[in-house]
Chains A and B, each alone.
Chain A
Amino acid sequence: MAKELVKGNVAIVKGAILAGCEVYFGYPITPASEIAEYASLYFPKVGRTFIQAESEVAAINMVYGAAGAGARCMTASSGPGLSLKQEGISYCAGAELPCVIADIMRGGPGLGNIGPEQSDYNQIVKGGGHGNYRVIVLAPNSGQEMCDLTIKAFDLADKWRIPVVVLTDGYTGQMMEQVDFPQNTAIPVRKPWGLYADAESRSNLITSIFLSHADLEKHNIHLQKKYTRIETEEVMVEKLYCDDAELVIVAYGISSRISRTAVEMARSQNLKIGLLRPLTLFPFPKNDILEAAKTAKVFLSVECSNGQLIDDIRLTLMGKRPVELYNRMGGEVPTSEEILGAIKRILKA
């Protein structure tokens, strides 16, 4: 057993190395900086490469290059940095390059602050760059998942040839918890389309250009089919007391941890409350929400953003059930007591 008390950000770095990540390209930004710092410490120790890029833009384009060369590679940042990376993420999506990007969300808009927020939901989950694309979005809420879902991110990225974003908040990045690290490591597998600087791969071309409209439409249809398959095959969700719940909270990241305590408090007061936590934000757990709607009369989106997650819950329920919002912004997070208060107001309990 290799249990360690580490920050979520550090668990990402160790997870990435265990997943066989060969190169890391980063840029400092609070509250994600530990990822670059620990990558700069650990990557060279295992003979892998860490580069501090001149900008977020350069970092994601280095990722594009390394991914094109077939390597497992990653970068990490926080909201303002992700805004800058969107161009590169669009190129990775267009060229179907697998890569992993961690977003440790902070307060916005603009420079905002370094407190925890979840306001990158739309720019990440909806595909914030140009073009018709999606990325897989994983939403860890603990140190353990920062490791496990980072490893999973590399596998999904390769499986689907798609960028995968590990999306979480400043608290989950900064928080220390015990993490049980896996005792096995992955070794990179050769990708038939990659540029390996040899005769076998010489004819390979990495590009997102399709000059003919017909070809680009075909490429877009291919991408959409892939996203549809991902929606069918890769949904991950955690459900707590959803079977008989009259009110179901939907929350991810730090909001889901706080909500969990609120749900336990509510249950101890005989209130039938459940928690549905998406581990994948794209694909969104639509079927699980519809399933929960069989007993739930009302849903509550708990988020540290201005009602971004709630849109996907509403689109899923299509007006079948009311969806309420309890949110905080600006680096403030709800307390369990506040959430319990919101539950009681909604249920008039």
Chain B
Amino acid sequence: MEYEVLLKKPTVFYDKYPRKDGNKNVTHYCPGCGHGVVHKYIAEALEKLGVQDRTIIVSPVGCSVFAYYYFDTGNIQAAHGRAPAVATGVKRARPESIVISYQGDGDLAAIGTAEIVHAANRGENITVFFVNNAIYGMTGGQMAPTTLEGQKTSTSPTGRNPLNEGYPICVSELLSTLKAPIYIERVSLHDAKNRVKARKAIYKALKCQTERKGFTFVEILAQCPTNWKVTPDDSLGWIRDKMLPVFELGVKVDRTEEAQTSSYPKSIWDTASILKQLDLENVEIKARADRSRLLPAHRNPRIKIAGFGGQGVLTLGILLAGCGMLEDYNVAWLPSYGPEMRGGTAHCHISINDAPIGSPLVSSSTVCIAMNKPSQVKFEKELIPGGLLIRNSSMIDIPSSRSDIEILSVPATELATQAGSLKVQNMVILGAYLERTKLIDMKTVMMALQSMLKKASLLELNQKAIDAGRNYVRSNT
């Protein structure tokens, strides 16, 4: 007999369900469950939009955990509540995909609250279908965040009491306060007229995604006769009479007309461009500078620099390490990090060595640079006998307690002020240190400074301060 097929299974569904145990012709959903209808509307919409191949559906934890049994699309299963984060990951990795996060009320409105709010707030170009049946289905009928006042569940046996458990959450309204979502609508499955609206809303949300317009969200009030303990017939009336007064139907947000189409990032894969963008173009490493000019005591220094925050302690350390690298030493710079960076005192450890550096922690130093009094008191003890203490005599009014070390006193604060700024005390000290030890060639210092400082005026100021330190050592020792 020939006949015209008017109603058929959408091609986006598997014909049979090969991933499912047992009967491959029927779904695992209970009789009268709303999920099957929602699945069908999604499958129809995907077919109509012609996007089956590029669709990836995120199955959540809950009754729809096995959505991948039915949808002949790309499928990924997510941890409880995390579907919008997983969907974000998929979409960002494959911007051309059509990503659906399909979630129930426990998953989305309880354990996954953060993920849904932030995916919506970022305006992720994904579609979320939120099936609200006011109960945890898969785990056997426990209270959900959307459970109605007075509704009896296995964890609210005497009925949900707002004084103890709060009120049902209206997620669509909650998300409507955000600026990014372009389309939020709540629909219901309780009668034919509303199912038509639900089908249209689902199609519209997915269509917007194909147009790369932004975040779309459809909340579907659906029946759970099993856990509501009513017949499938009565479950439709249950939605109408009990849910509708709490969860108002309708479009909550529609910015689909004005929404702009987003573009995909254009990834760069050629090596030369990548290296350029990463600032990894060639760096000139000077041939090993002649180390013989250094006195043995000044070779391979282990330096501790300390002072108040703002005295340029960490910067001085980085500059020294950077210069060392340019002269083909092994270098390590280790800061005291954290709250110290935001005021208070700071110190850092610097090692500059011909050999690979073992401990980057300078526990016994060969050089100690103390920019203030507490630093001298604290760190001069660590100097090895014969080590070099450089003290900022502008800010230290006590002598060193050590008699077995070399001491260089430099009024760095004063000289820096004369040079033009308090901020270059560290450069005065650098000039003094290098004048005394010849550790680094001045040309190297200028090269390193040039790469650190973009402004010519700053470069000049720093150079002036370095010279002041050098001159002070020359004329006072």
Contact = CB atoms under 8 A, between A and B. Distances in A.
B76 A114 contact: no
A183 to B, nearest CB: 7
A71 B337 contact: no
A62 interface: yes
Contacts of B359: 257-258, 260-262, 335-336
A77 B357 CA distance: 27
Contacts of B321: 5, 176
Interface in A119-175: 170-171, 174-175
B265 A44 contact: yes
Given A65-B85, A212-B21, A258-B358, A207 B93 contact: no
Interface in B70-93: 72-79, 82, 85-93
A76 interface: no
A241 interface: no
A198 B285 CA distance: 48
Contacts of B115: 54, 57-58, 61
B363 A337 contact: yes
Given A175-B360, A206-B76, A335-B361, A4 B280 contact: yes
A2 B65 contact: no
Interface in A38-67: 42, 44-49, 51, 53-55, 57-59, 61-67
Interface residues of B, number: 74
Contacts of A114: 337-338
A36 to B, nearest CB: 15
Contacts of B268: 46-47
Contacts of B77: 95, 205-209
A333 to B, nearest CB: 6
A18 B331 CA distance: 23
Nearest to A3: B283
A276 interface: no
A208 B68 CA distance: 13
Contacts of B269: 185, 187
Given A87-B79, A205-B68, A206-B76, A47 B85 contact: no
Contacts of A178: 325, 330-331
Given A49-B265, A197-B98, A31 B331 contact: no
B363 A73 contact: no
B274 A176 contact: no
A65 B331 contact: no
A88 B332 CA distance: 35
Contacts of B54: 197-198
Given A3-B285, A25-B89, A61 B82 contact: yes
Nearest to A185: B271
B267 interface: yes
Best-surrounded residue of B19, B65, B115, B285 (most CB of chain A within 10 A): B115
Interface string A181-218: 10111010000000111110111111111011000000
Given A69-B97, A258-B358, A204 B74 contact: yes
Contacts of A204: 74-75
Nearest to B360: A175
Contacts of A185: 269, 271, 274-275
A195 B94 contact: yes
A68 interface: yes
A54 B268 CA distance: 27
Interface in A238-258: 254, 257-258
Contacts of A102: none
Contacts of A37: none
Contacts of B403: none
Nearest to A44: B265
Nearest to A264: B358
Closest 4 pairs (CB-CB, A-B): A65-B89, A261-B358, A197-B97, A61-B85
19 contacts: A14-B278, A46-B267, A47-B268, A57-B85, A57-B114, A61-B85, A64-B86, A66-B90, A176-B331, A176-B334, A195-B76, A195-B90, A195-B97, A197-B54, A197-B56, A197-B98, A202-B53, A208-B77, A257-B358
Interface of A: 1-5, 14, 17-18, 22-23, 25, 30-31, 42, 44-49, 51, 53-55, 57-59, 61-71, 73, 87-88, 91, 95, 114-115, 170-171, 174-178, 181, 183-185, 187, 195-199, 201-209, 211-212, 254, 257-258, 260-264, 333, 335-337
